[in-house]
Structure 1
Amino acid sequence: MKRFILPVLAAAALSLSGCASLFAPPVNPGDTEQQVVARLGQPTAVYPDGNTHLLEYAAGAFGQYSYMARIGPDGRLISYQQVWTMENFRSIKVDQATKNDVLRLVGRPTEVTRYARIPFEAWNYGFKESGVWNSQMTVYFDAQGIVRKVENGPDPRFDDSRMRF
Structure 2
Amino acid sequence: MGLLAMILGLTACDPQRISELEEGVSTEADVRARFGEPENIWDGPVGRVFEYNRQPQGQKNYMITIGPDGKMAALRQVLTPENFARVQPGMAAESLRRLLGKPARRTPYPLKNETEWEWRWMQPPNSPMVFTAVLNADQRVERSGSSPDRGTEAN
TM range (shorter): 0.7 to 0.9
Task: Give the Cα–Cα distance (whole angstroms) in 1 for the partners of residues 42 and 27 of structure 2.
Answer: 17
| Aligned match of 1:78 | 73
Shift of 1:49: 2.2
Are 1:41 and 2:18 matched, yes or no? no
Task: Give the Cα–Cα distance (whole angstroms) in 2 for the partners of residues 75 and 151 of structure 1.
Answer: 36
RMSD across aligned positions (CA): 2.0
Task: Give the Cα–Cα distance (whole angstroms) in 2 for the partners of residues 50 and 121 of structure 1.
Answer: 29
Shift of 1:138: 0.3
Q: TM-score, normalised by structure 1?
A: 0.78
Equivalent pairs, count: 142
DSSP 3-state at the match of 1:23: helix
Q: TM-score, normalised by structure 2?
A: 0.82
2:85 to 83, 90, 104: 90
Deviations 1:91-128 (A, max 9, x none): 11222x11111111110101110002211111100110
2:147 to 139, 150, 153: 153
| Aligned match of 2:63 | 68
Task: Give the Cα–Cα distance (whole angstroms) in 1 for the partners of residues 135 and 144 of structure 2.
Answer: 9
Structure 2 unmatched ranges of 5 or more? 1-11
Are 1:57 and 2:52 matched, yes or no? yes
Structure 1 unmatched ranges of 5 or more? 1-18
Aligned residues: percent identity? 26
More strand by share: 2
| Contact 1:49–1:104 (CA under 8 A) maintained in structure 2 | no
